[in-house]
């Protein structure tokens, strides 16, 4: 069984919904579709209030190289375009769409599957771009850009990430069990984009035996390898996944293509399949609704723009003992301040946590135990970042690899002094970046 070589932890898995089949959430009467669902600039709105749109119609156009299209997720009338709470924690420009209940597709969208092998590489990339496909594992990087690395980079390895190492989350797990053929077809499309012979893998943690079996049934036809990975956090982090499967190590300042690798989430591969073969834009995704407190724990197929409040209503509401709502997993997800935030392309789950699931111990002084160093998969010294940041010696931090930190949270999880290490790292990165901008202005 393969795994990465340095650091890592094994928190309680709490995969409470791993056996729950994907259910389709009914379309809400009103949707709030953010124009920022990806890395880079928000999309530019191309619709106006009062305009009628069909499902799959473009409502936000990619604004620049690192941006992505946004589409209507059902048919109806545009009610407004305004700033609205975003699951990332900020406010973002958002298109409000009132459903007409017809759910009428735009002509030419969501067709019967087509034979993509007659398409040119340019056609395939254009279809992925037009569909607004972005990385669905959390980063939201535009997929058409990732799949077109610089010409001097030789890609010999394509990896699909099916690790889903965050506790509670099972949305990728269920997609692998229920849609393995589409995922493998998406992988086949991705590998076709590279001229050199490419070895393709799907990395899946060992706690998902049924997913491994389902994928292997289709992968073997194309000589793709489904790799069983040790159940260990953060197995699904891009650098750790590459190290686990190939043994290659991504150094600070390098990107995967510098080591000949391209990594995509299994959900992204499925979206690529639907975009290329069915001309279907990315307008829906599977979301895990879990946590100790929510009454009905589910894996839901949800259209983009569905507000958290509608999902909560569909899952039987929440008791008053819930203390925190998290978008994503408990290790890297973001605490929410509004139930009016909505599902976006990178939303893998919504968790409802009470005080029993939260460590509310008071932060204490570092005791130099070294546990954060042992847990860090990037071979960093997290305690040092915190100490320097608390002394406001921010300019010292980059020399110790500040920007090589992936903010996985392993250090904070193991710290016996309950120091908010990741908080200080994020804060330090923001300070250092702002100082750089001021110097270059």
Residue 376 is assigned to a ligand binding site: yes
Residue 74 lies in a domain: no
**Domain's final residue, options 257, 278, 299:** 278
**Domain's final residue, options 212, 245, 278:** 278
- Read off the CATH number of the domain in which 187 is found: 3.40.50.11540
CA distance linking residue 149 with residue 121, whole number of Å: 13
Residue 364 lies in a domain: no
Same domain for 254 and 386? no
Output the tens digit of pLDDT for each of the chain's 441 residues.
999 999 999 999 999 999 999 999 999 999 999 999 999 999 999 999 999 999 999 999 999 999 999 999 999 999 999 999 999 989 999 999 999 999 999 999 999 999 999 999 999 999 999 999 999 998 899 999 999 999 999 999 999 999 999 999 999 999 999 999 999 999 999 999 998 889 999 999 999 999 999 999 999 999 999 999 999 999 999 999 999 999 999 998 899 999 999 999 999 999 999 999 999 999 999 999 998 767 789 999 999 999 999 998 888 877 666 678 899 999 999 999 999 999 999 999 999 887 665 666 788 899 999 999 999 999 999 999 999 999 999 999 999 999 999 999 999 999 999 999 999 999 999 999 999 989 887
CA distance linking residue 289 with residue 327, whole number of Å: 10
Cis peptide before 234 (omega within 30 of 0): yes
Owning domain of residue 219 = 133-278
Residue 372 is assigned to a ligand binding site: yes
Residue 233 lies in a domain: yes
Residue 325 lies in a domain: no
CA distance linking residue 56 with residue 53, whole number of Å: 9
Residue 315 is assigned to a ligand binding site: no
Residue 405 is assigned to a ligand binding site: yes
Residue 277 is assigned to a ligand binding site: no
Structure tokens at 142: 């535009």
Residue 415 is assigned to a ligand binding site: yes
Residue 243 lies in a domain: yes
Same domain for 138 and 273? yes
Residue 411 is assigned to a ligand binding site: yes
Full-model pTM: 0.94
Structure tokens at 144: 């058409």
Residue 67 lies in a domain: no
Same domain for 260 and 396? no
Residue 140 lies in a domain: yes
- Enumerate residues 6+ apart whose C-beta is below 8 A from 258: 153, 250
- Enumerate residues 6+ apart whose C-beta is below 8 A from 392: none
Number of domains within the chain: 2
Residue 109 is assigned to a ligand binding site: no
């Amino acid at each position: 069984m393969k795994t990465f070589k340095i650091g890592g932890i094994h928190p309680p898995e709490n995969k409470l919904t791993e056996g729950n089949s994907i259910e389709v959430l009914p379309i809400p009467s009103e949707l709030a579709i953010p124009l920022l669902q990806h890395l880079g600039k928000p999309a530019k709105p191309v619709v106006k209030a009062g305009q009628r749109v069909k499902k799959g119609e473009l409502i936000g156009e990619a604004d620049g190289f690192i941006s992505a299209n946004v589409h209507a997720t059902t048919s109806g009338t545009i009610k407004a375009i305004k700033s609205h709470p975003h699951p990332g924690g900020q406010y973002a420009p958002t298109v409000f769409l009132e459903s007409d209940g017809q759910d009428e597709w735009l002509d030419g969208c969501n067709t019967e599957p087509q034979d993509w092998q007659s398409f040119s590489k340019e056609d395939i990339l254009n279809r992925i771009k037009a569909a607004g496909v972005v990385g669905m594992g959390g980063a939201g990087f535009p997929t058409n850009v990732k799949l077109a690395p610089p010409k001097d980079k030789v890609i010999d390895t394509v990896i699909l990430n099916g690790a889903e190492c965050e506790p509670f989350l099972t949305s990728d797990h269920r997609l692998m069990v229920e849609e393995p053929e589409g995922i493998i077809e998406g992988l086949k499309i991705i590998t076709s984009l590279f001229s050199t012979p490419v070895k393709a893998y799907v990395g899946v943690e060992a706690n998902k035996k049924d997913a491994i079996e389902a994928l292997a049934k289709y992968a073997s036809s194309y000589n793709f390898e489904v790799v069983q990975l040790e159940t260990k956090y953060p197995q699904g982090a891009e650098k750790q996944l590459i190290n686990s499967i190939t043994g290659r190590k991504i150094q600070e300042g390098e990107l995967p293509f510098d080591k000949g690798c391209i990594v995509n989430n299994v959900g992204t591969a499925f979206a690529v399949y639907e975009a290329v073969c069915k001309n279907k834009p990315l307008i829906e995704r599977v979301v895990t609704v879990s946590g100790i407190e929510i009454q009905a724990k589910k894996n839901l197929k949800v259209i983009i723009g569905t507000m958290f409040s509608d999902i909560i209503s569909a899952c039987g509401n929440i008791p008053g003992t819930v203390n925190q709502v998290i978008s994503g997993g408990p290790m890297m997800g973001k605490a929410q301040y509004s139930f009016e935030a909505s599902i976006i392309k990178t939303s893998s789950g919504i968790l409802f946590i009470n005080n029993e699931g939260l460590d509310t111990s008071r932060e204490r002084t570092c005791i130099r135990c070294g546990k954060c160093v042992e847990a860090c998969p990037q071979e960093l010294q997290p305690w040092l970042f915190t100490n320097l940041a608390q002394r406001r010696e921010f300019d010292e931090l980059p020399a110790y690899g500040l920007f090589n930190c992936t903010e996985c949270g392993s250090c904070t999880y193991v710290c016996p002094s309950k120091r908010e290490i990741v908080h200080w790292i994020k804060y330090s990165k923001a300070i250092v970046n702002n100082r750089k901008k001021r110097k270059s202005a």
